[in-house]
Amino acid sequence: MSRRSAARRRSGGRRPACAAKPASSPLRGGSPDPPRAARPARGAASLHRAARPVLVVGVTGASGAAYAVRLVECAVRTGRRVHLIVTAAGRLVMADETAAHFRGDALDLASLWPHDVAACVTYTPAEQLAAPPASGSFDAQAAVIIPCSMNTLAALAHGLAGNLVQRAGQVALKEGRPLVVVPREMPLTRIDLANMARLADAGAAVMPAMPGFYHRPRSVADLVDFVVAKALDRLGIAHGLAVGWPGAGKNASRRA
Ligand SMILES: Cc1cc2nc3c(=O)[nH]c(=O)nc-3n(C[C@H](O)[C@H](O)[C@H](O)COP(=O)(O)O)c2cc1C
């Protein structure tokens, strides 16, 4: 038996989801949206090229770890590989808010995703500052920090890179790659607001986790999908999440 077929047997015969062609990977029935990316982040055009298939996903100690779990799944199911980095505070919050199982700083990927998704995820704790995403030569297409704490936001806004999440964000900025940050805090201080403005000036897309309600969410998962879809749109990653505005007057009949 070849090594490849042995590996496929171990995974229950399923190909890793990132090996699937993006166009054939709708997330929720129907075809995936065409690459909507109304206003792609700087350099987002390159996201559609196969040359740079790795998306760096940073998770910090803000509430909303579910956004990261869903975004990773969506990115993988549209053909990307993900390098996932989680800070120490991120691990605390993630363990609290999701099914994530950590042993020390190691994450059991199977606690969050089925095998075909987990097979496309590389995980590194943020303390490992010397891991590949710390380098500009790491073959990443973009970085997204979701959720982003005010602590990490402040560090990025001031050019600090004390852990691998911060460094990966800094690398995206200096290399001119798309950087999306999804802050979550309430209320925001003037310091937070100034840091967001600084980061936006430096080229990042600052997208606070503010779900809309015009898609008529029926569950928390629908609200999560709204925020994830917006982040994916900004990254130029086509997805099949049903979060669009149905148009004036259509809502009344939609739920009938
Ligand atoms: C349960 C819990 C929830 C938290 N929620 C938030 C939050 O929503 N937003 C935020 O900015 N900080 C939040 N914090 C505080 C951050 O975790 C803290 O500032 C931490 O130093 C962030 O570190 P990091 O940026 O390296 O992940 C929370 C902390 C805990 C323990």
3-state secondary structure 16-77: CHHHCCHHHCCCCCCCCCCCCCCCCCCCHHHHHCCCCCEEEEEECCCCCHHHHHHHHHHHHH
The CB of 129 under 6 Å from ligand 1? The reply is: no
Which letter, b or e, does each residue of 99-114 get, where b requires 16 or more Cβ atoms within 10 Å of its Cβ? ebeeeeeebebeebbe
Give pLDDT, residue 25.
42
Q: Which atom of ligand 1 is nearest to the CA of 90?
A: 27
Give pLDDT, residue 20.
59
Give pLDDT, residue 250.
54
pTM, whole model, 2 decimals?
Answer: 0.84
Cα 72 from Cα 57, distance rounded (Å)? 8
Closest CA to 75 of 52, 100, 99, 106: 52
The CB of 97 under 6 Å from ligand 1? The reply is: no
Share of the chain above pLDDT 90, in %: 73
Q: Which atom of ligand 1 is nearest to the CA of 155?
A: 25
Segment 159-176 shows an average pLDDT of 98
Residue 128 CA to ligand 1 centre (angstroms): 20
For ligand 1, atom 26, the nearest C-alpha belongs to 87
Give pLDDT, residue 201.
98
Domains of the chain: 53-240 (3.40.50.1950)
pLDDT at 31 over 80: no
pLDDT at 173 over 80: yes
The CB of 195 under 6 Å from ligand 1? The reply is: no
The pairs formed by 25-31 with CB atoms below 8 angstroms and a separation of 24 or more are: 25/77, 25/78, 25/79, 25/240, 26/240, 27/74, 27/77, 27/78, 27/239, 27/240, 27/241, 28/240, 28/241, 28/242, 29/240, 30/240, 31/240
Give 104's contacts (C-beta < 8 A, 6+ positions apart).
Answer: none
Candidate of 57, 59, 63 to mutate for ligand 1, largest count of ligand atoms within 8 Å of Cβ? 63
Lowest mean pLDDT among 56-65, 99-108, 123-132, 242-251: 242-251
Pairing of strands 106-108, 179-183: unpaired
For ligand 1, atom 29, the nearest C-alpha belongs to 61
Residue 81, CA distances (Å) to 18, 123, 150 in order:
6, 11, 27
Question: Residue 187, Cα to own-chain centre: how many angstroms?
Answer: 24
Lowest mean pLDDT among 46-55, 101-110, 159-168: 46-55
What confidence tens digit (pLDDT) does each residue in 224-236 have?
Answer: 999 999 999 999 9
Give pLDDT, residue 48.
40
Give pLDDT, residue 21.
54
Beta strand ranges found along 129-215 (DSSP E): 140-148, 179-183, 205-206
Find where tokens 């606070």 sit.
208
Q: Residue 184 corresponds to which amino acid?
A: R
Look over the chain and give the mean of its residue pLDDT values, rounded to a whole number. 84
What confidence tens digit (pLDDT) does each residue in 67-103 have?
Answer: 999 999 999 999 999 999 999 999 999 999 999 999 9
Q: Which atom of ligand 1 is nearest to the CA of 149?
A: 11
Q: In 10 A of CB 140, how many CB atoms? A: 23
Segment 16-25 shows an average pLDDT of 61
Residue 82 CA to ligand 1 centre (angstroms): 23
The CB of 92 under 6 Å from ligand 1? The reply is: yes
Give 214's contacts (C-beta < 8 A, 6+ positions apart).
Answer: 245, 246, 251
pLDDT at 64 over 50: yes
Give pLDDT, residue 248.
55
Cα 229 from Cα 74, distance rounded (Å)? 9
Segment 239-247 shows an average pLDDT of 81
Give pLDDT, residue 246.
72
Give pLDDT, residue 164.
98
The CB of 90 under 6 Å from ligand 1? The reply is: yes
